[in-house]
Structure 1
């Protein structure tokens, strides 16, 4: 596994010698508000432009790690005088992506990117709910009702569990009958979850309990590619999340730093102490305005309910997600 270590100067750009900007076409559908950089390397953002959730932007270029994982997309906006902007690929979905193969890229529009069961790895995406609510979801019911004493104020919540296929990058998905993203998550077909699974999911994915339907998007975009039933897919994801939340990494490090500033070296030490030396390099830290919003944890292809997170993080042959966009020093949000 190749490890990417980002210095302060590169924290925004993921510009290691593994990354390559390549012409591409397709659409970027924003799912959250993220900075849109004129220069991601320098972190310049004239006009403080941000992506608008639900808006679709034409893609003109991608920046990919080893042509496997698209980390950044360059899109067309209506902003003048600098309309072409870089935005993190983790801030939305890629639709009908085709990368110019002459530039060393890959054909993300390959129909095999939408076939179930042919993935080669996974990503467990877990969110820090206070930051999500501050920056993106403050008008959502699950955020309006968030209090400092609620479970998700001090534990990671489930964003998603994503099967990946190297040749498709982030475009692997939508393997069921629903091929395009509807106007809202609640416009997806409803899920037929067992009562106990739905109850458990309502705690760790507050959107489910509040009726804003993130669980539908995660199933139709990602779960349909897993080869699992709806119940088994979410149960596996929740079991993995539980291992993180019940670990000393959360109780001894995250909990002690809520409402404070921390840094990558402290995060690395705490994560490696709990899950094994070098496990930190499987985690991409995503931030918004210097605040931690999400962990994206790279996992192997074969994962079962009995697997221990420590063993999964030491499995060979798993390509990491880069180190994310968090600066060297970042905050862990508390509920306001």
Structure 2
């Protein structure tokens, strides 16, 4: 017996399926937007990172799963990357922001990129020997590093970051450049006085080597400070200078380059220079057991003539805690 299909029914069914599937679109995929360069781990527990992959600033990564609570600063996200080996990688949640698929309202975005709206500051200073060992492959400032150079025995300037608590780590880019270019040297050049430029090149190896970190730091962070380009870097240089000229660096760090130190030793030396309780304003960043960076929490007002010791003694300074270094860590040598 022949089967008869009503053509009107068939057309109606096709149209129903088409309209239905179009009406119920899949929800947008959650994404992670990197705001700094961080390790992309194959295993967050073992901290293995095949091919030494890092997040790229302003790049968006689809989120596969999330673990932990952002409020406790123990948030981990598994994201999809373009890596050929193990493309699903873990990244710490404090390396960027999560976007639930919806576009951030303009009013919220604007509040986080308007100059002068910050409520605290962070001075980020690096230990160049460790940076070069971990991340410096092919960087000219690392290829020329010697034990006699200034940055082999002193901290270098990463940046001075105005922060706004309600924006988390996303306060920045308050000037005309809103999206970080792939290459720092694609930012517009800075107009710095000769003395400032010379002093900056001494403590920021990238500036002297021509890899342009100073441009990124200004356009990403300095534009929010309310200072001029030269004023921003003068204040950064003065704050860093107080640390490098202190007994903490001149005695303690100098005597322990190439050695492992304890947090207790580190705390005693820092507080010996900057006062009791000042260690609580520090975030210590380590990688592979080596100290890579100090992040110094500072109040909103830092251009009031006060020295670093006085600034660190002020109450209500926001801090992210004491960082990720263990009880012992290496102060790396060249």
Q: Note whether the superposition's TM-score is higher than 0.5.
A: yes
- Cα deviation, residue 293, structure 1: 0.5
* Residues 157-236 of structure 1 aligned to structure 2 (within 5 Å): 157-236=156-235
1:31 is aligned to 2:40: no
Say which SS state the counterpart of residue 160 (structure 1) adopts. strand
CA distance in 1, matches of 2:68, 2:275: 30
CA deviations 1:214-249 (Å, max 9, x no partner) are 000000000000000000000000100000000011
CA deviations 1:66-123 (Å, max 9, x no partner) are 48x8986553335677825133745xxx37x5479xxxxxx99532001110000000
Instruction: Between the two structures, name the one with larger relative contact order (CA 8 Å, sep ≥ 6).
Output: 1
- Cα deviation, residue 206, structure 1: 1.0
- Cα deviation, residue 143, structure 1: 1.0
CA spacing shift, 1:70–1:179, aligned 2, 3 Å: farther
CA spacing shift, 1:66–1:46, aligned 2, 3 Å: closer
Give the aligned partner of residue 288 of structure 1. 287
CA distance in 2, matches of 1:261, 1:110: 43
CA distance in 2, matches of 1:135, 1:189: 28
State which structure, 1 or 2, has the greater radius of gyration over its C-alpha atoms.
2
Say which SS state the counterpart of residue 303 (structure 1) adopts. coil
Indicate conservation of the 8 Å contact 1:236/1:305, yes or no. Answer: no
Give the aligned partner of residue 58 of structure 1. 61
CA distance in 2, matches of 1:303, 1:84: 39
Indicate conservation of the 8 Å contact 2:201/2:208, yes or no. Answer: yes
CA spacing shift, 1:59–1:241, aligned 2, 3 Å: farther
* Residues 266-285 of structure 1 aligned to structure 2 (within 5 Å): 266-285=265-284
Say which SS state the counterpart of residue 165 (structure 2) adopts. coil
CA deviations 1:21-58 (Å, max 9, x no partner) are xx9744115536x362644xxx3345647433647352
Give the aligned partner of residue 16 of structure 2. none
Give the aligned partner of residue 80 of structure 2. 76
CA distance in 1, matches of 2:333, 2:107: 38
More helix by share: 2
Aligned residues: 300
Flag structure 1 segments of 5+ consecutive residues without an equivalent.
1-22, 101-106
CA deviations 1:160-215 (Å, max 9, x no partner) are 00000000011000000000010100000111111111111110111111100000
CA spacing shift, 1:190–1:46, aligned 2, 3 Å: closer
CA distance in 2, matches of 1:231, 1:71: 37
CA spacing shift, 1:145–1:168, aligned 2, 3 Å: same
CA spacing shift, 1:225–1:54, aligned 2, 3 Å: same
- Cα deviation, residue 277, structure 1: 1.2
CA spacing shift, 1:148–1:71, aligned 2, 3 Å: farther
CA spacing shift, 1:50–1:272, aligned 2, 3 Å: same
CA distance in 2, matches of 1:63, 1:190: 41
* Residues 1-336 of structure 1 aligned to structure 2 (within 5 Å): 25-28=31-34, 31=37, 34=39, 36=41, 38-39=43-44, 43-45=45-47, 48=50, 50-52=52-54, 54=56, 56-58=59-61, 60=63, 66=71, 74-77=78-81, 83-87=88-92, 89=94, 94=96, 97-98=98-99, 110-304=109-303, 306-335=305-334
More strand by share: 1
TM score, norm. by length of structure 2: 0.81
Calculate the aligned-residue CA RMSD, in Å: 3.0
